[in-house]
Amino acid sequence: QVQLVESGGGSVQAGGSLRLSCAASGSTFSLNDFGWYRQAPGKQREWVANIYSTGRTDYAISMTGRFTISRDNAKNTVYLQMNDLKPEDTAVYYCKILRGPWGQGTQVTVSS
């Protein structure tokens, strides 16, 4: 049984930064591929970024240059560093093991 817990969300002004964390338990962390997704009110859930067991990363075009996904296998944690945040980034952000479960999400609110 794998469990994912997101943290680090909150409220920030436009142009600010946040770092989200996704702590995983109940799995062989280093073997897993992870993704970050987000869902704004009234919008479909969209993919943000992936990081694979090899360390390779992929980003949605709209996030490229502002968001950085990383992982620390020793801490069983995946991170999403978000810079130059915009009001359009306001959403619930979810961590996911690819082909596996979702976390509960963490709210990010960006004010203009």
Q: Which of 86, 102, 112, 83 is nearest to 4 (CA)?
A: 102
- What is the distance between the alpha carbons of residues 110 and 101, in angstroms, rounded to a whole number? 27
- What is the distance between the alpha carbons of residues 12 and 9, in angstroms, rounded to a whole number? 9
pLDDT per residue as tens digits for the range 57-93: 999 988 889 999 999 999 999 999 999 999 999 999 9
Rounded to 5 degrees, φ, ψ at 41 are -55, 130
Res. 27: pLDDT tops 80: no
* Portion of the chain with pLDDT greater than 90, in percent: 88
